[in-house]
Chains A and B, each alone.
Chain A
Amino acid sequence: MKYKFVLCLATLLSISSGVVIADVGVNLKLEKIIEVYELKACNPPPKEAGYEFGKFLFNSKVLSGDRDVSCATCHLTEKGLADGLPLAVGVGGEGESLSRLYEGKGTLVQRNAFSLFGRGHLVNTNFFWDGKVDSADDGRVFSPLGNQISKKFSSALAVAAVLPLTERDEFLGKSNFFSANELIKAAGDKYYGERYTALGRPLQERLKKEAKAELSNTSAWGVIESPDFELADIGNGLASFIKTEFACRKSAWEAFLAGNKSALNANQKDGAILFYGKARCATCHSGAAFTDFRFHSIGVPQGEFGPSTRRRDLGRAQVTNKREDMYRFRTPPLLAVGETSPYGHNGIFKTLEEVVLHHVNPILIYLDDSSLSKPQNRLKVSKTLDSRDPKLQSIEIETEDELHRLVDFLKTL
């Protein structure tokens, strides 16, 4: 009898200690992750003076040559501030998201649209997939518009915000031999640096006419009417809006960082531990925006279209002209990543699971996608695969279950 009692007690103790060990394991690890990575809940910045001006500009089609595109066209709230398309559809398109593609009249912008969450208040040192807007330590901002005009811009974000306005496929508009809108006429045949100057006046005239009803009683009106008005004023307004409006995302991960320990379920917590630990995701997807702002290759196959010659996409090398930068792209920030499918600079990955898997198994996509087995791709696979970052070798995702937990965590961001 006594023996049975001792055995029973020992069993109970063991079971309870087993449970405690498991619990402490997960929670302790999450505490350590927050400590080691110095993670903090997002703290939204106060509204800047240019917020209302930026809000108007972001949502208005007045900035596009043919009045058919606004920033909000490709940065949709319901798509995590992306557009749900592999490649964005710019001027000439109608509707939103997939309908722009199916309608078929729009011009393809040669890269995947990205989310805008966290772009302003965080330490964003560069913008776009190839980092074509890049800030130097001394405060200068390099971009296709030239660094000499950086003084009136309030930030690199402000430069990035106006760059699409100077692109024919994104904002300037379509033209033919007989007709062209006034923005195309002013800047269509000019180089980027000259486009900056050329677009200031016609856009100012448009805003004076078309923004009067909404902005004449705001501080923005003084900016619009100023004789010193430049494209940078538009960029600064847009940056003020983006910086505040999209500063923080109401996500389960944010709630968790703010102290709600039940904001994540058990799978998501395991996924977080993988993300910050053995899966090594945070070695590149680091910081509050989940990016190191550096350029890496994960060997993404070439798509059907690309901004480089012969419809390829050379990535960062487009900007630096360096061989070692070929096929490298800026580590994409991950805020709202669960809502921004498809993935990759050319949107070639349909699901989050596909793109995560590609980090550890770059062969599958070539086997699964028959278009990548065609001769023109089949003979060029090593170009992209050989460019893969050696850091990828450190990733440890050992089971399907771990893969799913990792994806579950990503969906909380």
Chain B
Amino acid sequence: MSAAAVLSEQYMGLVVKCDSAMEASWYGETADVNEKRAQDIHLLDCHEYDKTRKTMLTAGLPEVYLSWLGLQALEIYQRPASEMSEQHRFTER
């Protein structure tokens, strides 16, 4: 439970970062040596994702929970929370 409390948010952030890095490297120009280098550095986000994932599994969190977090991350990071909540606020009193 405590591992979930401490690492879940970080994990969700890394899900999105890794997704972004993988997409960028898929569409990137691999013939360009400096673009390739930038992709290598960007993809380190996926290494960090993997490590966090392993840490959470080692701490006893079930795979299904991590999968759920992955889905949560994709939902949350589509738009910042502030934007999602903005339309629900009263703007006049």
CB within 8 Å of B: which residues of A? Answer: 7, 10-11, 13-15, 17-18, 21-22, 24-25, 28-29, 32-33, 36-37, 273, 276-278, 280, 282-284, 286, 292, 391, 394, 396, 398
Contact = CB atoms under 8 A, between A and B. Distances in A.
A7 B44 CA distance: 32
Interface string B44-56: 1101100110010
Interface stretch (B35-43, B63-71, B83-91): B35-43
A276 B2 contact: no
26 contacts: A7-B1, A10-B3, A14-B5, A14-B7, A14-B59, A17-B59, A21-B10, A21-B48, A21-B55, A22-B10, A24-B51, A25-B44, A36-B37, A277-B38, A277-B44, A278-B20, A278-B21, A278-B42, A280-B38, A282-B34, A282-B38, A283-B37, A284-B34, A391-B29, A394-B38, A396-B24
A32 B41 contact: yes
Interface string B1-22: 1110111001000000000110
B6 A283 contact: no
Nearest to B2: A11
Mostly, the A contact residues are helix
A276 B5 CA distance: 32
Contacts, number: 85
B92 interface: no
A292 B34 contact: yes
Residue from the set B7, B24, B42 with the largest chain A CB neighbour count within 10 Å? B42
B41 A11 contact: no
A280 B35 contact: yes
Contacts of B44: 25, 28-29, 32, 277
Given A18-B6, A21-B51, 13 more contacts: A7-B1, A7-B2, A11-B6, A14-B6, A14-B7, A15-B6, A21-B55, A25-B44, A28-B47, A32-B41, A33-B41, A276-B41, A277-B38
Residue from the set A278, A292, A398 with the largest chain B CB neighbour count within 10 Å? A278
A36 B10 contact: no
A283 B41 contact: no
A18 B32 CA distance: 36
Contacts of A14: 2-3, 5-7, 59
Interface residues of B, number: 29
A18 B11 CA distance: 10
- The 8 nearest A-B residue pairs measured at CB: A277-B41, A11-B2, A277-B42, A14-B6, A283-B34, A14-B3, A278-B42, A25-B48
Nearest to A9: B2
A286 B34 contact: yes
A394 B2 contact: no
Contact of B55 (A17, A32, A277): A17
A275 to B, nearest CB: 9
Given A14-B7, A21-B10, A276 B37 contact: yes
A398 B80 CA distance: 11
A296 to B, nearest CB: 12
A18 B38 contact: no
Contacts of B41: 29, 32-33, 36, 273, 276-278
Nearest to A285: B34
Contacts of B42: 277-278, 396
Contacts of B35: 280, 283, 391, 394
B59 A13 contact: yes
A28 B35 CA distance: 20
B48 to A, nearest CB: 5
B40 A32 contact: yes
A24 B7 CA distance: 15
B32 A283 contact: yes
Nearest to A278: B42
Contacts of A36: 37, 40-41
B6 to A, nearest CB: 4
B20 to A, nearest CB: 6
A292 B32 CA distance: 12
B70 to A, nearest CB: 17
A133 to B, nearest CB: 24
